[in-house]
Chains A and B, each alone.
Chain A
Amino acid sequence: MAPMRPTSCAPAAVVVLCATVLAAHAQAPKDDGDAPAILVSRQLAARAHLAAGDLVTLGSDPQGSRRATFRVAGIYEPTPDPMRFTATRLEARMHLPDLVDLVADPADPASREAVTSINVRLTDPADAAAFVPQLSARTPGIAARPTSRARDDDPFAVLDRFHVAISAVTMAGGTAFLLALMVIRAEERRETVGILRLLGISRRTLLLTVAIEGVAIAALGAVFGILLAFATEGLVNRIFQARYDTALVFVRVTPSIAARSVLIAAPLGIVAGIAASWTLLGRDVLSIVRR
């Protein structure tokens, strides 16, 4: 097999520094055109009262024994990361050589050669599964893994299954509710049904009527639920976005979800309607009118 050719295989040009290992101190702007540029996250800028053009000192240890001055070139919104939405994104991005200058151990020349990770983009992403063992075989000790997760290894797939299970339980409760309501409704109209039967209207027609009513109730309920979800979607997102200081979207009512809700609710309505009326319509017409 021909070796796969990565389109880029260089350490990332910018890195993210965790604020827990950095001390950021704003200084009064001064004429220091040589200070290397950095970007700071919106959250860090707010916390440290930074603005574009400010000079800051970053240190790689809490004592500040190794530190350097940088100019804030801009403020960025960190890409929302569902895996880290509870973390406060106090981050700065800088060019890799600047980071190496800041953190490298002067006594260890090899420390300037080490990076935490190397991102590789393959010409054909489908080759990822084959590329990983090839790279591992050529450079023992390197841990290479594709950035895309398998479905089984994805925490969001697990959360998805959890939400589906919760929905199924809620649906079971809702079905019992609908069924109880339809039983009451059927019992309420016992005499009307008896009279209709005496007038010659068939069981089938009456069952159809009840089924249509069940569908209508279930569909109206589903539509109301969808409208409620649409109406509260923004509110829920705003609350969670404010709580976690993130641009992540937590709730999104998509047309597919709305369609699925209606498609599940309608058959449930039919079943509930027919089941509730079955005992009544199955009886002899005289017993329905209590004769």
Chain B
Amino acid sequence: MSALHLAWRTVRRYRAQTLLAIAGVAVIGALLFDMLLLSRGLLLSFADLLERAGYDVRIVGGGGMTLRMPIPDSAAIAGTLRGLPEIEKVALVRILPARIAARSGASAPSVALIGVSGAASGVWTIVSGVDLDRAPGEPCPVIVGRSLAAALGVAPGDEVRINAEPAGVRSAMPPIACRIAGIGRFAFGGAGDDTVATTLEALHRASGEDRPGDADLILAASRSDAGSGAAVAAIQRARPGLAVYSNDEVIEQFNRNGFAYFRQISLVLSSLTMVFAFLLVATLLTVSVNQRLGEIAALRAIGIGRRRVAAMLLWESALLVGVGGLLALPLGELLALELDRILRQMPGLPEQLHFFVFEPRALAVHAAVLVVTAVAAAAYPMWVASRLPIAATLRREVVG
């Protein structure tokens, strides 16, 4: 009889404790799996949002990525970028606080008005209606965020009146009439954010400024044969002193600053759950071996060698951890949905950002951690069983 067969018979014989141990490992394993998803989830989700915009290079003002400051001479910079062979397309983005009012009288006193040169596909997803570039002839087409559209009770085709105010300027300019081209979901917009997008020209008219203001962000897409690294280098050569970042650099910067808490809490909790799973299986196996000392001594007495007994205990551990670990995956997915729902209630968080994101790496680490746990947990019971004095144990069992 093989060690696996012996282990299988043992776990079947002690059904209640086996099922409870598997349940414990499954719950703890689910938590471990979730912490692995959390450790890089925000980063993957953030990278996905950046990639989805279709631009892989960002140029920002003096405030870096965290403080939004206008980029001096942004129109000329955009012209220079368009002439670079490494660059495929360029978009200028300017954001101003604004007031918006519907014809019904419903209004929002503080919305973020985003002006974009050309339709920056990917910055928002059209939920209904059409995109800005599919509203030809309309002097002020706008895309309104879902929550704002619901609050104002507006739909594509409706007219709204917008008044933008550059920071630090009190404006008495009359609002301009705009028509809703579509309702959108903004990649970096929060669930409750009031966001409106329009063309740069329309934003300029809404602000009432005498000349177009500088953009807060310049987006550039590199040509596929050049790549973002070459595009960044080319931009820095053409316009030294600009704050230029590839998406990878932006992600790395956020990885260092913004997401550190969740990465560290996931590290702490996954370490704790691993220790917990080890203690659980090691304790159960040790107590179980102590309970079966006579049985193990009898197996040894009828010729089953030390190695096979040790292998049997290793298989027992592998069965408990393996089955529990497998059950942990669907359980972990369900738990991740709930934990993600809780964390996404944070105010100001982009609606499409997720904390728990699956990647094959998490599955591989989960499996590796469980294998290590199974082996480590079986080590002490294996040592106890292999050093068992056969005659003395049998005698003690009979006399006892």
Q: Does B257 contact A (CB under 8 A)?
A: yes
Given contacts A111-B168, A153-B347, A187-B291, contact A176 B23 (CB under 8 A): yes
Chain B residues within an 8 Å CB radius of A187: 14, 17, 291
Chain B residues whose C-beta falls within 8 Å of the C-beta of A61 in the assembled complex? 62
Task: Pick from B81-89, B230-238, B334-342, B367-375 the stretch touching chain A.
Answer: B334-342
- B4-45 CB mask vs A (1 if < 8 Å, else 0) is 000000000010110011011001101100000000000000
**0/1 string, A6-18, CB within 8 A of B gives 1:** 0000000000001
B224 interface contact, C-beta 8 A:
no
Which of A36-44, A166-174, A208-216 binds B?
A166-174
Q: Which residues of B contact A179 (CB under 8 A)?
A: 20
- Nearest opposing residue in chain A for B343, CB measure: A162
Q: Mark A190-220, 1 if CB is under 8 A from B, else 0.
A: 0000000000000000000000000000000
Known contacts A158-B343, A170-B276, A184-B17; A143/B283 CB under 8 A: no
CB-nearest residue of chain B to A169: B31
Which residues of B are found within 8 Å of A188, using beta-carbon distances?
287, 291
Min CB–CB distance A106 → chain B (angstroms): 15
Q: Which residues of B lie under 8 Å from residue A154 when comparing CB positions?
A: 347
B343 contacts A166, C-beta separation under 8 Å? no
Q: Please determine whether B343 and A169 come into contact, CB atoms closer than 8 angstroms.
A: no
Q: Smallest CB–CB gap between A35 and chain B, Å?
A: 25
Kindly provide the distance from the CB of B11 to the nearest chain A CB, expressed in whole angstroms: 12
Query: Which residues in A have their C-beta under 8 angstroms from that of B64?
Result: 20
Are A169's CB and B257's CB within 8 A?
A: no
Residue-wise, chain A 144-180 has the 8 Å CB interface mask toward B (1 for contact) of 0000000011110011011001100110111011011
A residues in contact with B165, CB < 8 Å = 141
Given A21-B67, A173-B276, answer yes or no on A86-B258 (Cβ-Cβ < 8 Å): yes
Given known A-B contacts A21-B67, A158-B343, A181 and B283 have beta carbons under 8 A apart? yes
CB distance from B230 to the nearest CB of A (A): 26
B141 CB, nearest partner CB in chain A, Å: 25
| A180 lies within 8 A of B342 (CB) | no
A97 CB–B CB distance under 8 Å: no
Known A-B contacts A21-B63, A176-B24, A187-B291; the reply to A165 vs B168 at CB < 8 A is no
Does chain B have a CB within 8 A of A130? no
With beta carbons under 8 angstroms apart, the residue of B24, B66, B99, B291 that contacts A177 is B24
B31 and A166 form a contact (CB under 8 A): yes
Bound-complex Cα distance A85 to B23 (A): 38
Which residues of A have CB within 8 Å of B279? 177
By a CB distance below 8 angstroms, the chain A residues around B30 are 169
Q: What are the interface flags for B128-165 relative to A under an 8 Å C-beta threshold, 1 for contact and 0 otherwise?
A: 00000000000000000000000000000000000001
B80 at the interface (CB under 8 A from A): no
* Binary interface encoding of chain A residues 232-271 relative to chain B, with 1 for a CB under 8 A from any of its CBs, else 0: 0000000010011000000000000000000000000000
A136 within 8 A of B: yes
Complex: chain B residue closest to A88, CB-CB: B257
Contact A136 B342 (CB under 8 A): no
Are B31 and A62 in contact (CB-based, < 8 A)?
no
Contact status A183-B342, CB under 8 Å = no
Count A-side interface residues using an 8 Å CB cutoff: 43
**Chain A, Cβ-Cβ closest to B258:** A86
Instruction: Say whether A28 faces chain B, with CB atoms less than 8 Å apart.
Output: no
Q: Confirm or deny: A114 has a beta carbon within 8 angstroms of a beta carbon on chain B.
A: yes
Residues of B within 8 Å of A126, CB to CB, are none
Q: Is B271's CB within 8 Å of the partner chain A?
A: no
Does B260 have its Cβ within 8 Å of any Cβ on chain A?
yes
Contact pick for B20, options A21, A158, A176, CB 8 Å: A176
Chain B residues whose C-beta falls within 8 Å of the C-beta of A114 in the assembled complex: 168
Which residues of A are found within 8 Å of B261, using beta-carbon distances?
85-86
Bound CA span A114–B165, Å: 14
Tell me, in angstroms, the Cα distance from A166 to B23 when the chains sit together: 17
**Does residue A2 face the partner (Cβ distance < 8 Å to B)?**
no
Q: Is A118 an interface residue (CB 8 A)?
A: no
Q: How far is the CB of B77 from chain A (nearest CB, A)?
A: 16
- Report whether B269 and A166 are in contact in the complex, using a CB–CB cutoff of 8 Å: yes
* Beta-carbon contacts under 8 Å, B61-83 to A: 62-64, 66-67, 69
Contacts of A161 in B (CB 8 A): 342, 345
CB distance from A195 to the nearest CB of B (A): 13
- B271-288 contacts to A (CB < 8 Å): 273, 276, 279-280, 283-284, 287-288
Nearest-CB distance from B294 to chain A (Å)?
12
Interchain CA distance A33-B23 in the complex, whole Å:
73
B109 & A136 in contact (Cβ 8 Å cutoff)? yes
Interface string of A253-291 (1 = CB under 8 A from B): 000000000000000000000000001000000000000
Q: Which residue of B lies closest to A61 (CB)?
A: B62
Can you name 22 A-B residue pairings with CB atoms under 8 Å?
A20-B66, A21-B67, A62-B62, A86-B260, A140-B109, A141-B165, A141-B171, A152-B345, A153-B347, A158-B342, A162-B342, A166-B269, A169-B27, A170-B31, A173-B27, A173-B28, A176-B20, A176-B23, A177-B280, A180-B24, A181-B283, A240-B264
